[in-house]
A and B are shown apart, each in its own frame.
Chain A
Amino acid sequence: MTDAPTPQLSLRGLTRVYGEGPTRVDALTDIDLDVAPGELVAVMGPSGSGKTTLLNLAGGLDTPTRGSVLVDGDALEALTARQRAALRRRRIGYVFQDFNLIPSLTAAENVSLPLELDGLPPREARPLTTAALDDVGLSDRADRFPEQLSGGQRQRVAIARALVGPRRLILADEPTGALDSTTGEDVVALLRDRVDQGAAGLLVTHDSRYAAWADRTVFLRDGRVATSTGGRLGLEALITADTEGGV
C-alpha cells in the first residue's frame, strides 16, 4: 500500500456506446479519472460531449459498455443491481440544476430521505440531518418546504441531502444552472467548502467561472478528454491587496 488515499471515485477506461451500426454513438471513450477525498474536479465541454453520461456512469445510474467505475475501491460492475442501489444510497449524492427536492417534504425531510430509504430509524437519522443542514447554514430553515425557500437555499438543501450521513461523493450536474451569478457563486463556494471538509466532488458545468473553483478541470470533446488542467500559474503573486508586502 502507498500513502496515497484511496480515490473516492475512480474511472478506468470508461466507455459508453449507444446504439449500433449507422446509429451508433460513442458517447464516452476511454476515460480515466480519479477524484480523491478533499478534491473537486470540474468537467466541461460542449453539449453532447459526454459530460452527463460521465456523471451518470460515475453515479451508477447508467452502465458502461467497457471499463470500470470504482467508488471508494468498490467496482460498481461487480455488484448486483440491488447492491449497486444500496451503494448509491449510502455513498453517492447527486445535485441537479433543478434541485429535485420533493415539494411535499420539508427541508429536513428531504435531507433525511436517503437515510430513511436506507432503513435508518428516524431517531438515528435526525441528528445526521440536523448536522447536514447545519453544514450548509440552513438549521433555521429545517421546517420550511421547498417553495418557501429561495433557489440558492433549495440548492443548499440539495447539497445537504447529497452529503448527509456517510455519503462522501457528490456528483453535481450544472448545480448553478438555475441560479443568478452571485447565488451561483455562493453555491459553488459551499460545494467547495464541503469538499474541503473531506468529500470528493465531480462538478459538471459549462461556466468556467464555476469550474475555476475546482482543483482540476477535464474538458471533454466527442466523448474523449480534450484537455485536462490542474496546477497554477502563480498569478496570485502578481496581484495583491497588500501593498506593504506583508501577509
Chain B
Amino acid sequence: MSVRQGFLALLSHGPKHGYQLRAEFEARSGGTWPLNIGQAYTTLGRLERDGLIASVHDDDPEAPERYALTDAGRTEVESWWNSPVKRGAPARDELALKLALAVTTPGVDVRAVVDAQRAETLRGLQDYTRLKRSGRGREATEEDPNADLAWDLVLDALVFSAQAEMQWLDHVESRLARASRTRGGASAPAATRAPEAARRPEASR
C-alpha cells in the first residue's frame, strides 16, 4: 500500500483537506506510519496531477482547500479494494536469520537465544495487550462510527504477529529437542544447557 492509496480510500467518505487526511491516515495505522504535512500535500498534488482527485470550492474563502475523488479516482479505489495485497519476496526476518546462524554456529546456546527472544516478544505482546485493555483507542464518532473498531484491528494485527512469533519460537525449541534426541544429544548445540530432567527415560528412547 502507498500513502496515495490510503488517501484515495479515505476520500471515499467525502471531501477532506490535507490536515484531516493526514490525521486520519495516521489514526488508521495506529501511528505506525507517521506522515509529515509536506508529504501529505505532495501526495495530494500528485493525485490531482493524475486526475484522481480535484479540489472542491468552498463558500468560505478562509477554509483550507478540500479535495474530492474524481470518477477516475473512484475507479482506482474500487480496483484497489478488489485486488489482494501482493505477497512478493518475503521481507528480511532478522530473528529467523539470527536463529539460522545460531543453530549452525558451534558453542552457541540456542535455547538461551530462544528464551531471551521469547521474553522480549512476550513483553511486546503484553504492551499491545495493555494498550488494548486501556481502551485508549479512538472513540467512535458520528462522522467516524468505526474508528474504535479500526484501531482495535490494527492492534490485533500486532498482537497476532507477536503471537505467531511466540509459536514459531516454541516450534524452534521442539525442533531443537528432537534434533538433539536423534543425534544422541551429545553433539547438538541445544543440549549444552539441558537440565537433567530432559534426560528422562522417554527422552533417550
Do they bind each other?
yes
Contacts of B197 in A (CB 8 A): 25-26, 29, 222-224
Q: Given known contacts A209-B129, A226-B115, A242-B27, what 15 new A-B pairs fall within 8 Å (CB)?
A: A23-B201, A208-B162, A208-B166, A211-B125, A213-B126, A217-B126, A222-B197, A229-B122, A229-B123, A232-B123, A232-B130, A239-B32, A241-B138, A241-B151, A247-B136
What are 8 A-B pairs with beta-carbon distances under 8 A? Answer: A208-B121, A222-B197, A224-B195, A227-B116, A232-B127, A239-B31, A241-B138, A242-B27
A243 touches B26 (CB 8 A): yes
Q: Which 3 A-B pairs have the closest CB atoms?
A: A222-B197, A208-B166, A235-B127
Interface residue range, chain A? 35 or more
* Interface residues of B, Cβ cutoff 8 Å to A: 22-23, 26-27, 30-32, 111, 115-116, 118-131, 133-134, 136-138, 147, 151, 154-155, 158-160, 162-163, 166-167, 170, 173-174, 194-198, 200-201
Q: How far apart sit A224 and B173, CA to CA, in the bound complex (Å)?
A: 15
B137 touches A212 (CB 8 A): no
Contacts of B120 in A (CB 8 A): 233
A189 within 8 A of B: yes
Contacts of B118 in A (CB 8 A): 219, 227, 229
A207 CB → nearest B CB, Å: 7
B174 touches A243 (CB 8 A): no
B19 CB → nearest A CB, Å: 10
Of the residues A23, A26, A213, A241, contact of B129 by C-beta under 8 Å: A213
Asked if A241 meets B195 with Cβ closer than 8 Å, knowing A212-B129, A219-B115, A236-B131, the reply is no
A238 within 8 A of B: yes
0/1 string, A195-239, CB within 8 A of B gives 1: 000000000000111011110010101111011110111111011
A241 touches B30 (CB 8 A): yes
Of the residues B115, B124, B154, B194, contact of A235 by C-beta under 8 Å: B124
Cβ-closest chain A residue relative to B34: A243
Cβ-closest chain A residue relative to B167: A208
A22 touches B201 (CB 8 A): yes
Beta-carbon contacts under 8 Å, A8-46 to B: 22-23, 25-26, 29, 46
B128 touches A235 (CB 8 A): yes
A140 within 8 A of B: no
Cβ-closest chain B residue relative to A45: B170
0/1 string, A153-186, CB within 8 A of B gives 1: 0000000000000000000000000000000000
Q: How far apart sit A223 and B198, CA to CA, in the bound complex (Å)?
A: 9
A241 touches B31 (CB 8 A): yes
Q: How far apart sit A26 and B203, CA to CA, in the bound complex (Å)?
A: 13
Of the residues B32, B136, B159, B198, contact of A209 by C-beta under 8 Å: B159
Q: How far apart sit A15 and B150, CA to CA, in the bound complex (Å)?
A: 48
B138 touches A242 (CB 8 A): yes
Contacts of A227 in B (CB 8 A): 115-116, 118-119
Q: How far apart sit A192 and B134, CA to CA, in the bound complex (Å)?
A: 12
A238 touches B125 (CB 8 A): no
Output the residue of B118, B154, B159 with the most chain A CB within 10 A.
Answer: B118
A46 touches B125 (CB 8 A): no
A2 within 8 A of B: no
Q: How far apart sit A211 and B123, CA to CA, in the bound complex (Å)?
A: 10
A3 within 8 A of B: no
A240 touches B174 (CB 8 A): no
B123 touches A241 (CB 8 A): no
A243 touches B31 (CB 8 A): yes
Cβ-closest chain B residue relative to A233: B123
Contacts of B22 in A (CB 8 A): 243
